[in-house]
Amino acid sequence: MDAAAEAREAVRRARREAVGVAVATSAYGVSFGALAVASGLDVWQTCVLSLLMFTGGSQFAFAGVLGAGGLAAAPAAIASAALLGVRNVAYGLRMAPVVGHGWRRLVAPQVTIDESTAVALAHGDPAARRTGFWITGVGIYVGWNISTLGGALLGDVLGDPRTYGLDAAAAAAFLALLWPRLRRRQAVAVGVAAAVVATALTPVLMPGLPVLVAAVVAIAVGWTNAFAGRAS
C-alpha cells in the first residue's frame, strides 16, 4: 500500500472511530437532561447549559451540586464546574496545530473536549487527526444537545432519576475519565487522597465544597511526586 492509500485508510478509520464515539457519548446526554431538571433547572436552562458550557463533567458537577444544595450551593457549583473545565485549556493548546486556521480557530474551542482530543491524538496522520477531531467534536455537540433536550422533556415523565440509575451517570462519567490515567502509583495516590478527603467532608460541608477541598489535596499530593516513575 502506497503512502496516499495509507493516508486515505487512516482518514477512513478516524471517521469510523469518530462516529462511534459521537453516538455513544451523545446517548448519555439524556441522563444529564433528566438530572438537571430533577435538580431544579427548567428545560430551557438545561438546554442553554449544554449549548454554552458543553463539557459533560462540568455540566454534571454543576447540576449535581445544585441539586444537592439548592440555590445556596450555586457558588460551589460554579466553582466545581469551572475547576473541571480547566482541563479543556490544556486540550486547546494541544489541538491548536490540528484544527487548522481561519474560522476553524473560532469554532474549535467549543468542541475541544475529552473525546475529540482523544480521537484526534489516537492517529499519527495529520489529516486523520483533523477528521477525528472535527467529526467527534461536532457530532457530540449536535447529539448531546438533542439528547439533553430529550432528557429534560422526559424528566417530569420519568420521575425520580434514581429509579433508572440515572443519578449514577455523573459518577460513571467521571470514573471513565479517571480510569485510563491510573497507570502509575503517583496517579493512584492522588486519586485515593482526593477521594478519601471528599468522602470524609461530604457529611459536614455544603455540597460542592468537598470537591474543591479534594482538588487542593490532589494538587498537594501530586506536587510531591513521591511515587513518580514507579509503575503500579
Residues of the chain with pLDDT under 70: 1, 64-86, 156-182, 206-212, 226-232
Q: Any residues with CB less than 8 A from the CB of 225 and at least 6 apart, and which? A: 186
- For residue 65, count CB atoms less than 10 angstroms from its CB and return exposed for 0-12, middle for 13-18, buried for 19 or more: buried
| Residues 78, 63: Cα–Cα separation, whole Å | 10
Q: What is the pLDDT of residue 31?
A: 81
Q: Any residues with CB less than 8 A from the CB of 21 and at least 6 apart, and which? A: 115, 118, 119, 136, 139, 140
Render pLDDT for 120-145 as a digit per residue (tens, 0 to 9).
988 888 899 999 999 999 999 999 99
> Which pTM was predicted?
0.69
Is 175 within 8 Å of 194 (Cβ atoms)?
A: no
Is 147 within 8 Å of 27 (Cβ atoms)?
A: yes
| Residues 136, 141: Cα–Cα separation, whole Å | 8
Q: What is the pLDDT of residue 231?
A: 46
Q: What is the pLDDT of residue 219?
A: 72
| Residues 115, 105: Cα–Cα separation, whole Å | 18
Q: What is the pLDDT of residue 124?
A: 85
